[in-house]
Structure 1
């Protein structure tokens, strides 16, 4: 259809002899081809610019300069875009074309917006809005309002953004402009997404897509499909989100829109990371990074660097994690410096303006001053003569007073010499004190620097530890409800949780390593690494075998021999394997027990009395070298739908607090679980945290705390 219309326009173009008619035909040819064949559209714009310049058709020249801007926007060459837009604005100003001037301000505002320069973007758009209102251009006013909504939305000022969008939507509806209406609806959808109101966002996004499909607006359709992909992602519908991302990716690739492609690759990378496809995430994020670099978009680069570093950490490639994490930190600094530089330039410009105004003001004051001096000159001369006479009389009086002052000065000099002698002694003492103070300050600086280096290393370790902990998605896809209450005592933790999916089994563990803080964190990294190594093995079929193999690897890696005085490093653990089809639960424990609850009560043992919460005891041995090591016991419990189980470390029950400052102990924790076991898991987590904090009161936390609850 586009080809047919282009052919018709070209036939008319080849027959006409009038330059202005040719220029107008080239404008229509550009519009027909800019999205379907951008390079062909550029050739029409270049030809139109040449014809307009030769015919001195200034309005045409400005129009084709703006079309060059549109083409280079899709290529991400913002410097060329700025040059063309500024040249177009100068031509419009020379012919006093107010509408053209306003359109050029809009073009500049959009270019600054694409580069996250919100100050200049807002200023340009406000200038355009003022002109459009002055010439009663309702369509132009609504475009400006819509663009201002975009700018405020990017700065997370959602209420201000929605205010502008609704004003713009009302004007577009009055005008019957369906493209403008669909743009506004899509933008409102994006704001509701950012405000986490996904239901409202879906309604507006669907309305926008319907209008755009009706009008065959290819760019708008691609935009709406991408928005729906983001919505499905936020609703955890990852398969559908990837489907919509892929559709919009194809459309934007056809159009050559690098801005949207950079955003899409970043979104696809986040989706793959979230769903555990780490290598695919890294590949997509690198594609997005190349485009963001080409576009010079600092904020996109910052977001992608963070995503890549997290993906490499999850993949266990800590060298690449460190490299991209440092780039992420540097990019944050670059954005901070860029914004400060921009503020400094604004202050400098304001200073220069005020300086010039002051100079003009001073010149006027200087002229007035000359008149005043001439008028009062003679009076001043007369006054001087009177003063000279008075001074002669005063001189004689002063000579007498000076003789008296000389006597007083001699006494003062004597007192001064005595004071100076005492000051010299005080200065010597002061120098000794300053020397000692400088030494103390130097030692303090050395200690502070060492402490800062240590804390930086610990915070870096925290980022690594958090990156390798499992995501919630693994558990969410397998069970009805769950919660994880995880509170390290220090920056890094000796407790850790681990989860994985193996065929139809959900595997989940709660572990407590020897010590807490940095030593415990090292052991936790070792434990997670070994679990990732053991679980995929085909010869491992029970929970107890996992703990047996884990103990063997810990002993080997720490070179434990069982000799007297040897450090007893290791870990306690509760390990569960849930068959999600049959709800059969396998459990093995190293000092950490399992609690099982049912809405209808649990048998205390096979064929035993019914109790509200059943404890399956762990083997009294750690995952480490031990005096008497036996194979771990594999317990099998048949759960019913709605049953819950709990695994935890000893940090919760060992906490000191209460009115007497004593330990909580396992029984009190056990009784509290009985009270809350039938509540929704989300509410249980909140209550478990509150109960712990209320018990602890003003006491310090003594250990890492980990509690996991799962409802099948």
Structure 2
């Protein structure tokens, strides 16, 4: 099918979308568009039909004819889907949502905005996706479903940060602060209010930087003026030297004339010697005067040569000094600009990493949720860098009585920013899997593996990144724990005896080929632990036991780690966390932290329930 958005039609679309249609002659324009719509449908030109329906709907909106506007916006979306014109489909659903909002029909508005968001995701346009997430979040809020709003706003904020859209960042933070305040999450409201202040402060800082650059430019201009002044002084001195040279030449010419005169006198004296011996003394005297004059001339020439050497030396020294000053000033300017550029880049990088840390911390579950679901527990979470490739996950699966609790400790490939990206994929995937109703530990890991494979396109790209997971489901009503592991184990202590259940040998993500070519085959086992007595369970990544330290600079190792857990398992959970931290610091000493560290400890005791 021919695409309706060729160059002439695209120009017409942009012009009409921007300018609209004048109020005069709207009835005639609607009739004309409807005839063109019939022709387009007869020719199966659904792209043009979608555009014409959209324009007719806009006219009805301007006339407050809401029913017809809704009808034609809906037609525009339908025809756009047939004609494979996602931009028109997105615009139709978006305007349809706005129209329903004007009629206070927030449920239908939400449904339309969700469709627009879906199309934006298919197009991959981050700015449209962020706008769509905000529209959906606002409508959830209008329906008093503020918790649903927050998730969409957090995703919109992350996209706004990626595309560096400052107004959109500010809007997301303002709405998040408002909705957290309504939900009673005062500390989160304060956190997002602080983020708004930081965005404003950053803008003020950029303005100040501009003023400082202007002041530096003025100082550079003053330095240039001083250089010009110095050059002018050097020019004047050079002119004076040239005048001195001219004077010396004049003296030389005068001496040459004197020499000619003396020679003439000598000739006269020779003639006179034959005439009179009495004049011989006068001739001898004149000869002596001549010798003296010659000596004076030689001395004068020597002085002229010396003066010329001094003059040339001074000129050369001045030129060298000027060149050196020019090079030093240019080098100094370049060094200042390079240092400023490095500082700006470092500040921007550090700001982005700290922002990523706040986003990651916001996505990790809060202590309030942990206190509600597993109150007698601790989490030791220590990223190696600002952001972490390890993360912990706590969620609930609704049941008739007490909810079942999903607990996971996850170690993603890498650490720092690459690990943080993987952790974002893992958190979002687990939330989606739990919300879709997966309720068994082995099924959750199997679905998570497929989700990671799809998200990283690993079958096509050969990407091998993934994550090691230890995941439990605590079923309080049944008094059991379900456990499944991807490489990471479950450690638990009952009756002063430590037990370990190993995870499966393959991780989440990466490719595992079966004998049949192209067949992905990766499953996980489900293990059951009875909680019929006081039990302490531990989930962890490999960061703690892989930490280098001690007197010989060796790893802490799994054996020493499990021995420590057995020694402290009966202590209160707060004391267990403190002991683990103190032991780690003593072992590590001056050695740098090797990897991200995560240890979770949960005390379960169904025997105390009545």
Query: Which band: TM-score by shorter chain?
Result: 0.3 to 0.5
- The structure with the larger Rg is 2
- Give TM-score scaled by structure 1 length: 0.41
- Give TM-score scaled by structure 2 length: 0.48
